[in-house]
Amino acid sequence: MKKITLSLLGFLLISSSFAHNNVRLNVEFDNVSVMDDNYKPGSQTVIFDQDQGDLNDFKMTPNPANSRFQLIVPKGLTNVKLEVFDVLGNKIMTKALSKLSSTIDVSKWNDGVYLVKISSDNGNHIKRFIKQ
């Protein structure tokens, strides 16, 4: 859960920014007044609930690997599926993921670069994996 405090800078513009995973979001609100519960100028804290996982946060470790890697997906994702493609676009693996952490055996894969796609109800994300 992220908290952001917006403070009164005047009645013309409120600007706030925050960063998460190397992504910065700048937000500007024009012609806004910030009031407390008694309608007096002050500051308010806004809470962003991040219980739903962010697909960008899935991890593969170690990478590169020669026998297996650990796939870790963020909590809060539903209907998570793993697909692995070789560089020619051939699907070499599909697996439904029911746990936050899974061990993927790559010992029989040819050495090279693979695309690992994680899909969920929140969308999908692809990362590169190297088999040595």
Are 131 and 124 in contact by the 8 Å Cβ rule? The answer is no
Both 79 and 40 in one domain: the answer is no
Query: Can you read off the two tokens belonging to residue 24?
Result: 């910065």
* CB distance 58 to 72 below 8 Å: yes
By percentage, how much of the chain surpasses pLDDT 90? 34
Q: Is 123 found in the same domain as 105?
A: yes
In terms of domains, do 68 and 118 share one? yes
Measured in Å, how far apart are the chain's first and last C-alpha atoms? Answer: 38
Report CA-CA distances (Å) from 121 to 53, 78, 81, 129: 10, 6, 10, 23
Confidence at residue 125, expressed as pLDDT on a 0 to 100 scale:
86
pLDDT digits (tens, 9 = 90+) for 54-101: 556 788 999 999 999 999 988 877 889 999 999 888 999 999 998 889
pTM (global) more than 0.85:
no
**Is 15 in the same domain as 72?**
no
The total domain count for the chain is 2
> Structural domain of residue 8, as residue ranges?
2-48
Do 126 and 80 lie in one domain? The reply is: yes
